[in-house]
Structure 1
């Protein structure tokens, strides 16, 4: 009798072809029209029902078994990034300035592979599988939109599984860890206002550029001196805008940044900690500060008991290739699904040093070892099938 990984291996080239097609035609958040059409066509061909979810992009498929039972959701994100690809390969992006630089094409291909496998096993399914192809993960908006539209109901989802590729783990392995895996994601908006003037007469101004520089450096003392060294936090600024001429001190400087934490208590304290440093430095430099702290995503947190069960199930696919990964400070809106229903998020190994597949997410030379795709498909299919078969963990 063929195992699920056996079937995934037989489908390997088809899954690779699916991934390459997706990679050639990447689309940014909430613009995934061609991707949505492509996914829908494949699901319909496999005999999977398409359920309108309320959005213009993204797909929800429903596979009902022959017997009643629980509902398992499998989720993949489908959007790409505004990155110009630098890889030279046959499946290079054909959309200038857009690239699957975070590997969501591999997630989508893995889930489509799982759908093809599970559709063949429909007669043995005691329950329902809901396939969620989510748009707009990169802007932290897709999961929220789908949940608000009721994607976890009709039928009500009992449990959810998802995965994200990582080049830090070799292809053929999977990271499955209980507790925190990916960090909470928050966004900061800061404007420092001063009085502009001639760059040669700085004493007649209130320089917001100098204040901004001092604030950026001062905020790092929160991480180094106010956070437990055994805990984790990141404060980074990604944009800084101020001024138009080399000899003119501007009226204001605008900055945006990101804050990452794991500990919910520390996360709750960060807005106040940052405000004190920002306002103190701004006042000391005779400027004013407007600070907005927006909480975007909670941390990805895998329930211990369910994660233990997942590790045992995944051994059927990966053997001794199931590892406990080191958590990362990247974020994932899969965490919002986990706030609503029990769920486990995996890290699928896609790295291969010998092939030069070492570049991290969001790099213009990011790629995956496509050998990993059969494992991604098998992992998702195995978790869903085993859960419906056992009806409990």
Structure 2
């Protein structure tokens, strides 16, 4: 058969699987599990993969799963990864399959990613004799806390792997569209922890205290000048404070205030300069308010940097499935992913799969929103993309 024929067949077979995949996704959505607690989720995934006759290994890096599909001929090993954990968010979608675990929600679409990869495994299991090599399916826990990738690598998930591919659903991109690019596609992620110390006392007598809340307010505003006045506007960077904790009562000025934040960047030069830059601003602004500030800077994961050759292979697999008009050049996202750690070990590529409403429809809620909803039409398409990619890279292009 011609190459176009096998791609079309993968898409048709994925569409035939859609009802089964969507049902599985909804079950995961109904019973989400937080990072490092994905026991039931992992057991459901392992059961599906075992039924396909794959070589399944559980408890890889926590509750991660590695499943190998060996082709009919020897060859290289191509890996595909999906993340499986949920978020500590109270769901407010009103969906009939809303979370039954209060305060836990698949608000980032990892249930979608998992179902997509299971679909790809089922498609490829049907055509394993056409594969010259091995496909490794990696189901990763604890992505939301940026721990799972490193744990799985340490447990050998990438041993023998030659290339790796992954995806993330994108609710601001309509279902049916895909965005990709060579090079950096997602930012590096770092964490900051800042403690501000003053002198506590009665809220009615601020002159007898040293107020860390006022100092912290100035620090939060001052940190934005690290981006706006110390970094080139051509070098993207973000500093956001996400938590502030201080005080015990409305009429007490506390002695301590603790805050945490996230730092995003692409340039290694910008990233390397952030610890000193943030410490200087926090410490000296605090001093101006008679307080002391201490900064802990925690480097977490590098940028997601797509190998140009692998991104080309991915683009080649996607284009015939959706056409030129639906394959978009991605804009780099200041979101981040610990998939970056896999890419540090082996070449690969990551792409954004549209999961949002069609153009002209009401705008969808974004990732990590309690109102997050996906267009489930993205699931069979994602499975078809992964399966087509594997057949492109390992197959004889006939099915």
TM-score w.r.t. the length of structure 2 is 0.94
Give the superposition deviation at 1:390.
Answer: 7.2
State the shift of 1:307 in Å.
Answer: 1.4
> Is residue 327 from structure 1 mapped to residue 332 from structure 2 by the alignment?
yes
Determine if contact 1:171/1:349 at 8 Å carries over to the other structure.
yes
Q: Does 1:179 align with 2:190?
A: no
**2:354 is aligned with 1:349:** yes
Q: Which runs of 4+ in 1 moved over 3 A?
A: 52-56, 353-357
The alpha-carbon deviation at position 199 of structure 1 amounts to: 2.0
Number of the residue aligned with 2:394 = 388
* Contact 1:72/1:129, CA 8 A, preserved across alignment: yes
Question: What aligned pairs does 1:2-151 form with structure 2 within 5 A after superposition?
Answer: 3-151=9-157
User: Which stretch has the larger CA shift, 195-204 or 170-179?
Assistant: 195-204
Task: State the superposition RMSD in angstroms.
Answer: 1.5
SS in structure 2 at match of 1:51 = strand
Contact 1:43 1:50 in 2 (8 A): yes
Q: Structure 1 residue 56: deviation in Å?
A: 4.4
Describe the SS at the equivalent of 2:395: helix
Structure 1 portions without partners, runs of 5+: none
The corresponding residue for 1:275 is 279
Q: Which moved more, 1:312-321 or 1:92-101?
A: 312-321
Match of 2:305 among 301, 305, 309: 301
Q: Structure 1, residues 111-158: CA drift from partner, whole Å, max 9, x if none?
A: 0000000000101010000000000000000001101111111xx000
* Correspondence list, 1:200-279, <5 A: 200-279=204-283
Encode CA deviations 1:355-380: one digit per residue, 9 max, x unaligned: 65611101111111111111110111
Q: SS of 2:229's equivalent?
A: helix
Deviates more, 1:351-360 or 1:122-131: 351-360
Separation (CA, whole Å) in 2 of partners of 1:238 and 1:21: 31
Counterpart of 2:142 in 1: which secondary structure?
coil
- Deviation digits for residues 277-322 of structure 1 (CA, Å, limit 9, x no counterpart): 1111112221111110000111111122321232122112222221
Q: Is the 8 A contact 2:130 2:396 kept in 1?
A: no
Q: 1:162 matched to which residue of 2?
A: 166
User: Would you say how many aligned residue pairs link Structure 1 and Structure 2?
Assistant: 389
Equivalent position of 1:290 in the other structure: 294
Give structure 2 stretches of 5+ with no counterpart: none
Shift of 1:55: 4.0
SS at structure 2 position matched to 1:380:
helix
Q: Is the Cα–Cα contact under 8 Å of residues 61 and 154 in structure 2 kept in the other structure?
A: no
* 8 Å Cα contact 1:357/1:367 also seen in 2: no
